[in-house]
Every structure is written in C-alpha cells, then in structure tokens.
Structure 1
Amino acid sequence: MRFLASAVLTLLAAGCFSNKKNQGQRLYAEHCASCHGDQGQGLARLIPPLAGSDYLVKHRDELPCLIRQGQHGPITVNGVLYNQVMPAHPELSPAKLTNLLNYIESHWGNETRPRTIREVQQQLVGCPQVKP
C-alpha cells in the first residue's frame, strides 16, 4: 500500500511541474521565432540574431525590460546596425520572462549563468517608463 501511495504522489507531482518543462522553448516559439528564426539566426540585416549574440551579454540586465516593453530605435548586434521595431510583450510574467531568457541565453552558442525569478523581478522594477 505504501508503494502505491508513493507511486501516485510521484505521478501527481510530475504532473504539477510538467507544464513548466520546456516553457522557455515554447515561449520562444510563440513570441520570438517568427522574427528571430527557429535557431535564433535573425533575418539578414533586418532582424538581429540571438544566436551567438554579443548584445545579450552586454545588455543582460536590460533584457527583461526590452522584452516587456519592446525595442525601438537602432541597436548594434555583432557589429551590425539594426533599426527595426520589436513588439512589446507586457503579458509575460516574471516567471515566464525568466524561462524565456534562460532558454535564449543557453542555446545557439550563448552561454551565461541562469537567471532567477527574483533577479528578473528586480530588473523589471528598474524599467524606464514608456511614454504612451
């Protein structure tokens, strides 16, 4: 009986957490891949790459705000100037932003320390106010 109860609890616990597994990858596919590409390769000189991007490293603390508020104006990524508008994603919670950024920053040649939700929450507090 004890074994059965343990097995049931294990299955239930796995179900509780399974919806978060690969959430970063799913969020990337839903919100980012149509512009930045399935492999983060970007689009020629129109959309910057995320794969092997020096911008991700240089602007780590700003990325939660950039995703939440969008990007307007010129940026330089890997020595190339880009000047397209990136849409805002204000609907993404700090937890989802953390998972999304951890996915991006650990794939396609990007290697950085994982983020925590607390870190992302603190970075969001520092977001500049966007004028309507």
Structure 2
Amino acid sequence: MKPLKQPVWYLRGLALLGVAVSVGSCFSNRQNEGATLYASHCSNCHGAQGEGLKRLIPPLAGADYLTKNRNGLACLVRKGLQGPLIVNGVDYNQVMPAADSHLTDSQITNILNFVQTSWGNQGEIFTIREVTEQLRACGASDGQ
C-alpha cells in the first residue's frame, strides 16, 4: 500500500488551526468574567443594566463618577464606601459593602473593565498592574 502524501503547507495549516483552536479555548473561560462577576456581586444593587436604584443607589451606566474618580475605583470596590457621593449631579448616601475577602485583584480588574465598556460607557480599560497599584496604595492588594 502506497502512503498518502500531503503537501507540507496543508499539514502546517492543520497544525496552525489546531493551535489556534486550543489557544482560543484557554481564554474563553475568562472572556466574560467581568460580566459574570458583575452579575453575581454588583447587579443586585446597581442593576443589570447599571441603572442604579432611583436616588438610593447610583447608576454606573453613564456615570461621571467613573471618570472623575478613576484612581480610586479599585479601592472603592475592595473596601466599599460609606458616606455621601455625587453621581451625575445627584447626591447618594448609602453604604456600599466591601469585597475584601471574596474578589481578587484580577477579578476587580475584570469587573471594572466590564463597567468601563458597558451601557454606553467608554472609559479607559484598566490593567491588572494599575488595579494592583491602586489597591496597594489603600492597603488592599491581595497580589492575585
């Protein structure tokens, strides 16, 4: 029986396709992590569409607070917030619970990036390094 001869380019193409598929699947589990984390940790208060709750809980959709306070957002998520704040000209004064023990630096980065790019928001994307530096500055980095 005569062995089949395949052109070298065909075999290389198949190998490249196999690598591309396997690499793509490595990232698919984390691709929507920000949306998943937001849904499970944030949407109960801030709403599924970031709309907030009337004058009780501030919106995240179209919120000027996100750009005005970018350098403190990671610490706000990790440590929570007590006291007044103004979002889009509206005063809010409810307690936001801390995420001290159940979200890593990486997960906070993914949540912030989801918020920055959802509901019409066009904020600058956070890097994990930027979030970790913010968290170190407020004594809240877990290094993960």
TM, length-normalised to structure 1: 0.89
Distance (Å, rounded) in 2 between the aligned partners of 1:104 and 1:34: 15
1:88 aligns with 2:98: yes
Which residue is equivalent to 2:135?
Answer: 124
Consecutive unaligned residues in structure 2, runs of 5 or more: 1-10
Worse overlay, 99-108 or 42-51:
99-108
What's 2:63 paired with?
53
Indicate which of 53, 70, 84 corresponds to 1:43: 53
Distance 1:107 1:8 in 2: 33
Which consecutive residues of structure 1, in runs of 5 or more, have no partner in the other structure?
none
Match in the other structure for 1:19: 29
Q: Deviations over 1:72-130 (max 9, x none)?
A: 1111111111111111112222221111111101122321211111111111111167x
Aligned residues: 129
Q: What root-mean-square deviation, in Å, do the aligned CA atoms of Structure 1 and Structure 2 show?
A: 1.6
Question: Does residue 99 of the first structure (1) align with residue 104 of the second (2)?
Answer: no
Looking at CA atoms only, which structure, 1 or 2, has the larger radius of gyration?
2
Letter in 2 for 1:101: L
Identity of aligned residues (%): 53
**Cα-to-partner distance string for 1:27-83 (whole Å, 9 max, x where unaligned):** 111111111011100001111001111111111010000000111111111111111
Asked if 1:64 is matched to 2:64, the reply is no
